[in-house]
Amino acid sequence: MKILVINSGSSSIKYQLFDMAASGRVLCSGLVERIHEPMGAIKHKKFPDSPEEAVFADELPIPDHKIGMQLVVDRITNGQTAVVASPDEITGVGHRIVHGGEFFSAPVIVDDSVVEKLTSIIPLAPLHNPGHLAGIATARELLPAAPQVTVFDTAFHQTLAPEAYLYPLPYEFYEELRVRRYGFHGTSHGYVFGKTAEFLGRAPEETSAITIHLGNGCSMDAVKRGKCIDTSMGLTPLAGLMMGTRCGDVDPAVYPFLAERKGLTVKDIDAICNKQSGLKGVCGVNDMRDVHARRAAGDEKAQLAFTMFCRRVTHYVGAYMALLGECHALSFTAGIGENDVDVRQQVCQTLGYLGAKIDAEKNKTLKRGQPGDISTDDSPIRILVMPTNEELAIAQQTLALLQTI
């Protein structure tokens, strides 16, 4: 009942090992980084029964993902870093996959056909899927007794109707290239929605909510009676909300305008929109904590960035309430959503007329890391803070699938 969760990126491998027989207790976690560079690193945290964690860090060359995965397996199973006696104790491996295209609406056990499909949609996620495939290949080789399961960030959004996922572009672009809205952060949104229904004491199929994932990357979902009907991200994670370094929704005509007036290439503009925009583009920093520090010091651009960020979230809340027709809760999650009192207050301060009334004192005093209700007692729509746990969600979905075979 031990599930290893792997998030293999282009130059890193994040991992956690869960004991699912002990309510999903984390046995260890770690990060392999700077793969392919002259000097890489691995940081491994071991969580023993005592409250203090043990941290082990090493720097060494990590030329490829196979060496990286060998280090992960070695840290988990050998020496003072070990948390299991043998790799055979690992029941299964759950892989976080950013993009599953239209092929996958639920977790699947990896076989050659799954690998073939993931390879075919690399153009939809060129920065992510190659790293995922490398992680899958090495895990299959190093842990042959453990079934490999892929869990997709896009799967939760596969319930969108055509009128929600299609763009008003020539239909041939969808037919030939599968250009459409896919949405991301789906594992987080699905987990948080489930916890929201549980918190409200309602069955998921009787619950409608807006999940608000705010971190360096930001997205929102409208979930009606357990099914996602809209999501703010699109073909890529660039669309929708203003983010740490991503611009979110922008008039597409801005791109040819910049190309003509600034002499920029498509690649230049893509890099600007993804890495130099959002909070960073407006005020120079992408971490909301730094934005607050600059606001406190009187920085007008930081105040502008904060206001723009919150306004975009409020905008989407209003749109999603109209689409849902009924809404039982707004659920804030992820780094900013769970911890930023000012953002939550600013986003919700004008929503009272729609039935979502925030209680400023509850918002200020809610304990960090804990789920809670920060709405007024008479608010028809509950405003919740609901911590996400994507890794645990992957482990739970992996185990659930393995128990069916």
As annotated, the active-site residues are 153
Cα gap 317→298, rounded to integer Å: 29
Q: Give CA–CA dist 385/404, Å, rounded.
A: 33
User: Strand 148-152 and strand 108-109: pairing?
Assistant: antiparallel
Please report the sign of the dihedral spanned by the C-alpha atoms of residue 267, residue 268, residue 269, residue 272: positive
Instruction: Determine the 3-state secondary structure of 113 from DSSP.
Output: helix
CA distances from 307 to 295, 300, 301, 312 (A): 11, 11, 10, 9
Strand partners, 17: 4, 28
**Largest pairwise CA distance in the chain:** 62
Q: Report d(CA 47, CA 81) in Å as an integer.
A: 10
CA angle 395, 344, 293 (to 5 degrees): 100
Q: Residues comprising the binding site for Mg(2+)?
A: 7, 390
For residue 297, give the H/E element and its range: none
| Rounded Cα gap, residues 54 and 48, in angstroms | 8
Token representation of residue 334: 């992820």
DSSP string, 70-93: HHHHHHHHSGGG-SSS-GGGEEEE
Give dist(CA 313, CA 308) in Å, integer. 9
C-alpha to C-alpha distance for 337 and 343, rounded to whole angstroms? 8
- With tokens 């948080």, the residue in question is 192
For residue 253, the Cα-to-chain-centroid distance in whole angstroms is: 29
- How many CB atoms are closer than 10 A to CB 209? 31
Q: Would you call 129 exposed, middle or buried from its count of C-beta atoms within 10 A (0-12, 13-18, 19+)?
A: buried
Residues in binding site for substrate: 96
Give me the count of residues in the chain.
Answer: 405
- Residue 164, Cβ density class (10 Å: 0-12 exposed, 13-18 middle, ≥19 buried): middle
- Cα(308)–Cα(27) distance, integer angstroms: 41
The annotation places the binding site for ATP at: 14, 213-217, 287-289, 335-339
Q: CB within 8 A of 284, min separation 6: which ones?
A: 301
